[in-house]
Chain A
Amino acid sequence: MASDWQPTATLETLRERARLLAEVRAFFAGRGVLEVETPVLGHGGSTDVHLASLCTEATTPAGRERLWLQTSPEFHMKRLLAAGSGPIFQLARSFRDGEVGRRHNVEFTMLEWYRPGFALDELIEETAELIRAVLGRDPGPLRRRRYRELFREALGRDPFTAPLAELQRLAGDAGGLEMSDASRDDCLDLLMSLTIEPTLGRGGLDVVVDYPASQAALARRHRDPEDGAWVASRFEVYLAGLELANGYDELTDAGEQRARFAEDNAARRRLGLPEVDVDERLLTALAHGMPAGSGVALGIDRLVQLALGRADVAEVMAFATPRC
């Protein structure tokens, strides 16, 4: 096709994008958060069962080595925190295999920042302020929505205590597919994506908190005051039905972190997925000591998409993956 060489974004959009990125840098400069750059490649990768990593080989002083392309800059940035960097941010190229669509591109830009000493609530406030600054308009009030409450409102079921068979039926009906052998988390993910997500971030900025403990990833867990159930100390920010950001009260316990990596790789073996090399240097850094605090990752391409009112994420990237 003759026009394949051309950018997927207009030049006008690229100028707007540059202006919005300058806005991001000004936001953090004004708050004394240091911009850093860390490698895209690492000896360890993300073990997350639901993320597919790209992997490559390079000749290094140690010989021929397998290296992973980051799915987010999290591990390197946490090593900087352990080394005493203080608050840091990064606009980092990240890679997730197979993620292609109007809201996804295999290679994308993650805005990630860490706030030692911040409680999760403080970081939620700061995330909302950044989103307002970049959007250049007020998206409406910030609303905290508990994961359990969202399910009760939309489906009349408690996601933690409803019988699994009932969730399988609801998920199967919502998606028109067979879910009778699906796990609780898979059912909840599907219902979240199909039934709840599209309603979020309408007329305001919705921040979902208190995720199931099984979806904690690299966040701490705490007890739900309601009934003592374990929940993840995590939040996600939604605007106009789009998930923009994912924040954690960061796990700092090296032993717990090692156990979660091992659980992930065990799950990968069960599912027939490739295992991912564990980042030993991150574990050593955590054992050395990382200051407690919160961190958040925000899909900057999506925020630019919303700020400029573009339907497809490819329209805010110079060259989306199909044209790279």
Chain B
Amino acid sequence: MANYSTNEFKGGLKVMLDGDPCTIVENEFVKPGKGQAFNRVKLRNLITGRVWERTFKSGESLEGADVLELEMEYLYTDGDMWHFMKTDGSFEQYAVEKKALGDTEKWLKEQVPYTVTLWNDNAIAVSPPNFIELEVVETDPGLKGDTAQGGSKPATLSSGAVVRVPLFINQGEVLKVDTRSGEYVSRA
């Protein structure tokens, strides 16, 4: 992979740091009145999801990371691995470990496209679409007549996620949910 110098660090650039692939979140040029210039860089570790703040001397460089983000449909799980398939017509499949799946496990639904991050052709992270439609498999019975405001209750969705929903929602209904906040949006 190519090397990138601090002045090429832009949001979204993928680089290697301490042996892990990272994406650049923010790059701030810092320079005292008369003195050495530095770049203060925020990077997200693509494996752990943690954000690191590091300082580099201006002009230093990092090795680029062979990272691709591809759209893939979720197929099934065999209990050990979760299987996804590219949506580009190649039918190529990737098996994803539980560790790489992370929180996305509770938002899985067959045939929905997810963004799978590949590093050296291995899946290291999966992110769900911002909004997803899922069926309520368990919740307290809906309160008749209460269609407006007031109160909420937990509902378990077909993917396993538990979200707070309005009291009028019933088992069997399909809901639109924001996966970033884990909040109910509307009936689908």
Binds A, one of B51-59, B82-90, B169-177, B179-187: B51-59
**Which residue from A103, A174, A175, A236 sits with its C-beta under 8 Å from B29?**
A103
Within 8 A of A (CB), among B7-65: 7, 27-38, 40, 52-59
In this complex, which of A100, A177, A193 has the most chain B Cβ atoms within 10 angstroms of its Cβ?
A193
Number of interface residues of B (CB under 8 A): 22
CB neighbours of B28 from chain A (8 A): 101-102
8 Å CB contacts to B: which residues of A165-202? 174-177, 185-186, 188-190, 192-194, 197
Shortest Cβ gap from A146 to chain B (Å): 15
- B31 and A190 contacting across the interface, CB-CB below 8 Å: no
Q: Which among B7, B34, B59 is the interface contact of A48 at CB below 8 angstroms?
A: B34
Check if A99 is an interface residue, CB within 8 A of chain B.
Answer: yes
B37:A194 contact, CB within 8 angstroms: no
- Kindly state whether residue A98 has any CB partner on chain B within 8 Å: yes
Question: Which of A48, A98, A99, A236 has the most CB atoms of chain B within a 10 A radius of its CB?
Answer: A98
Contact A190 B55 (CB under 8 A): yes
Q: Are A194 and B35 in contact (CB under 8 A)?
A: no
Chain B residues near A185 (CB, 8 Å)? 35-36
A50 CB–B CB distance under 8 Å: yes
A194 touches B7 (CB 8 A): no
Known: A101-B28, A104-B29, A176-B52. A193 touches B34 (CB 8 A): no
CB distance from B159 to the nearest CB of A (A): 38
* Residue pair B40, A236 in contact (C-beta under 8 Å): no
CB atoms of A193 and B29 under 8 A apart: no
Q: How far is the CB of B69 from chain A (nearest CB, A)?
A: 21
Q: In whole angstroms, how far apart are the Cα atoms of A103 and B30 in the complex?
A: 8
- A236: nearest chain-B partner, CB-CB: B33
Q: Assess the B36–A50 pair: CB atoms within 8 A.
A: yes
- Which B residues are CB-close (under 8 A) to A100? 7, 29
Contact present for B36 and A190 (CB under 8 Å): yes
- A217 vs B71: C-alpha distance when bound (angstroms): 55
A215 to B56, CA, bound (A): 21
Least CB separation from B53: chain A residue: A176
* Residues of chain A lying within 8 A (CB to CB) of residue B30: 101, 193-194
The answer to whether A50 touches B34 (Cβ under 8 A) is yes
| In the complex, A243 has a CB within 8 A of chain B | yes
Q: In the complex, how many angstroms separate the beta carbon of A209 from the nearest chain B beta carbon?
A: 12
A90 on interface, CB distance cutoff 8 Å = no
Size category of the A interface is 20 to 34
Contacts of A176 in B (CB 8 A): 52-55
Say whether B37 contacts A98, CB under 8 Å.
yes
Q: When the two chains form their complex, are residues B38 and A175 in contact, meaning their CB atoms are under 8 A apart?
A: yes
Chain B residues lying within 8 Å of A193, measured Cβ to Cβ, are 30-32, 35, 38
Smallest CB separation, A32 vs chain B (Å): 28
Is the pair B36, A177 in contact by a Cβ cutoff of 8 Å? no
Q: Which of chain B's residues 104-140 have a Cβ closer than 8 Å to chain A?
A: none
Assess the B55–A175 pair: CB atoms within 8 A: yes
Report if A94 contacts B (CB, 8 A).
Answer: no
Flag whether A246 is at the interface (Cβ < 8 A): yes
Q: Report how far A236 CA is from B33 CA in the complex, Å.
A: 7
Q: In whole angstroms, how far apart are the Cα atoms of A236 and B34 in the complex? A: 10
B residues less than 8 Å from A102 (CB atoms)? 28-29
Residue of B37, B38, B53, B54 with highest tally of chain A CB at under 10 A:
B37
Which residue on B lies nearest to A237, using beta carbons? B33
Chain B residues near A177 (CB-CB < 8 A): 54-57
| B36 and A175 contact, CB distance less than 8 A | no
| Contacting pair A194 B56 (CB below 8 A) | no
- Give complex CA distance A175, B52 in Å: 11
Residue contact B54 to A50, C-beta cutoff 8 Å:
no
Give Cα A194 to B57, complex, Å: 13
Measured CB to CB, the closest approach of chain B to A266, in angstroms, equals 17
- Neighbouring B residues of A98 by C-beta, 8 Å: 7, 37, 58-59
* 11 further interface pairs, Cβ-Cβ under 8 Å (given A99-B31, A100-B29, A103-B29): A100-B7, A175-B40, A176-B52, A176-B54, A177-B54, A177-B57, A193-B30, A193-B31, A194-B40, A215-B34, A236-B33
What 5 pairs between A and B have smallest CB-CB spacing? Answer: A101-B29, A175-B55, A189-B35, A176-B54, A236-B33
A residues neighboring B (CB under 8 Å):
48, 50, 98-104, 174-177, 185-186, 188-190, 192-194, 197, 215, 217, 236, 243, 246
Can you list 20 contacts pairing A with B, beta carbon distance less than 8 Å?
Answer: A48-B34, A50-B36, A98-B58, A98-B59, A99-B29, A100-B7, A100-B29, A103-B29, A174-B55, A175-B54, A176-B54, A185-B35, A190-B38, A190-B55, A192-B32, A192-B35, A193-B32, A217-B34, A236-B33, A246-B34
